[in-house]
Amino acid sequence: MNHGVILPILLPLFAGSLLLILSRLSMTGKRWISMCSTLALLPLSVWLLLQANTGVLHVYALGNWQAPFGIVLVLDRLAALMLVVTAVLATFAALYAIRGDDERGPNFHALLQFQLLGINGAFLTGDLFNLFVFFEILLIASYSLLVYGGGPKRVKAGMHYVVLNLVASSLFLIGVGTLYGLLGTLNMADLAVKIAAADVERQPLIAAAGYLLLIVFGLKGAILPLYFWLPSAYASATAPVAALFAIMTKVGLYAVIRVFTLMFGSEAGGLAHLVDELLWPLAMLTLAVGAAGALAMRSLERVIGYLVIVSVGTLLAGVAIATPESLAAALFYLVHSTWVCGGLFLLADVVARQRGELRGRLRGRLREGPRLLQPLLLGSLFFMAAISVAGLPPFSGFLGKLMLLRSAQTGEQMLVLWPVVLIAGLVMVIALGRAGSTLFWRSAPESAADAESDWVRILVVIGLLAFSPLLVVAAQPVQEYMQATAQQLLNLQPYLQIVRGGEA
């Protein structure tokens, strides 16, 4: 077995536990432990990506108990990709946090590590119950991170977030229990085999469990109509937490891809493609409502929150089309949107720090006097991020949307997808243009002292947003990897081999 598969789980687990044990350690010491652990995930995840790119499924059986009787971790191209995306985002979020945001309350870095533990575990697990377990780990950490720093707005948003996710967790457990009661297994590959062989009498209950899972993943992924918690939650969180949360909706979408291409995929007999007819209208409605919400918002943080919802709808459209080309486009857009939206949340905080009491509210007085260097730099960064997230050339958002539009196979798909995506992009340009003109042309920084104090934060923002042009420069190898990932996801035989004889 490749023991490296379990390291993305063990590393944050041990680091988070150590930080709790050493809770009286100085903040400098906690930052060193947290940053060393987070930075170590970068080369580790890249190494696992290279391992997965061979096309072999790496199966890690805990305790050497083979599937379907034991708990297994599965490393494929998709899981490795998500590990890299998470490691990059977490590194920049942690670098931003150590500028002072981690001092607003206790145990920030321990919570950060447990959040990474839950996220990485969800990407690697090959067992449906352990997907539930890792979901709960990342959610418990996110509850505390969301209200980190206190304040009535955070507590209110946190209460809504906690209640909704507790309901979702209950539904998740009911769905998992139903599948286990009917099929006697929770290993995803074994479930795929058992669902395909299920008799007609059990299929309605299995389908009901599948729809419950879709509701759960839809809530965690902020799919319409289950997205209402997201804008206020993300807008209320501190900047590094909001940036890290950019990957949270992608965990829900990852679960949709993993469960409904494997367990209810082409090999599932009468239950094959169980939710395909639902995903397409949900994707279009989520995309349209997200764009309209971004136009209606009057604070920069909430605008970015709705941009996350737009990205969810765009990704779900690629999943709904369910071809290798559309899945590859969705995965490319997933990487782009996660990093750019994370960078936008950090940039919004830098801008808000210079606007005094106005913070991120989209109103301000007319500028007086000459423009300063820092507003010019921040405005340029915002312009680059805005055209990237809106899907305009020459940045990565344009490539992702172009790949998605080209993947539309039928005339009906083209007639719906093209106008919805393009009109939503136009609405996003208008919303971001209004925000940019208000922030950088109608208001000035509060003081020169504030301008000097933000240079390190600005460098972190530049570093994260720089991945958008880098994705364009490396577009060919990245696109080839996404195509291989999509083809691997749709070829279920290697996954089914997990319960028929080990690695495939």
Reading the block at residue 2, the tokens are: 């490749």
Angle at 479 between CA 503 and CA 265, to 5 degrees: 50
> What's the pTM?
0.94
Measuring CA to CA, how many Å separate 491 from each of 261, 268, 483? Answer: 9, 13, 12
Alpha-helical (H) ranges within 268-410 are 276-296, 300-321, 324-353, 373-389, 396-406
**Phi/psi-derived region of residue 270, left when phi > 0, alpha when psi is between -120 and 50, beta in every other case:** alpha
Q: In the prediction, which pLDDT does 358 show?
A: 74
Beta bridge partners of 299: 361
| Contact between residue 119 and residue 86 where contact means Cβ atoms under 8 Å apart | yes
Q: What is the rounded distance in angstroms from the CA atom of residue 457 to the CA atom of residue 354?
A: 12
Q: In the prediction, which pLDDT does 64 show?
A: 84
Reading the block at residue 24, the tokens are: 């009286």
Q: In the prediction, which pLDDT does 369 show?
A: 43
Q: What is the rounded distance in angstroms from the CA atom of residue 139 to the CA atom of residue 169?
A: 10
Q: Which of 127, 382, 90, 112 is nearest to 246 (CA)?
A: 90
SS3 per residue for 214-250? HHHHHHHHCCCCCCCHHHHHHHHCCHHHHHHHHHHHH
Reading the block at residue 485, the tokens are: 């990932």
Q: In the prediction, which pLDDT does 414 show?
A: 86
Q: In the prediction, which pLDDT does 46 show?
A: 97
Q: What is the pLDDT along the chain (504 residues), one digit of tens a residue?
A: 678 999 999 999 999 999 999 988 999 999 999 999 999 999 999 999 999 999 899 999 888 887 777 889 999 999 999 999 999 999 999 999 998 889 887 899 999 999 999 999 999 999 999 999 999 999 999 999 998 877 788 888 888 899 999 999 999 999 999 999 999 999 999 999 999 888 889 999 999 999 999 999 999 999 988 888 889 899 889 999 999 999 998 999 999 999 999 999 877 777 878 888 899 999 999 999 999 999 999 899 999 999 999 999 999 999 999 899 999 999 999 999 999 999 999 999 998 888 777 777 887 654 444 444 567 888 899 999 999 999 998 999 999 999 999 998 777 888 899 999 999 999 999 999 999 888 887 655 554 444 445 788 999 999 999 999 999 999 999 999 999 999 999 998 898 888 765 444
Reading the block at residue 202, the tokens are: 């059990």
Q: What is the rounded distance in angstroms from the CA atom of residue 9 to the CA atom of residue 3?
A: 11
Reading the block at residue 49, the tokens are: 């990506």
Q: Tally DSSP H helices, then E strands, for the chain.
A: 23, 2
Q: In the prediction, which pLDDT does 378 show?
A: 87
Crossing angle of helices 373-389/324-353, nearest 10°?
160
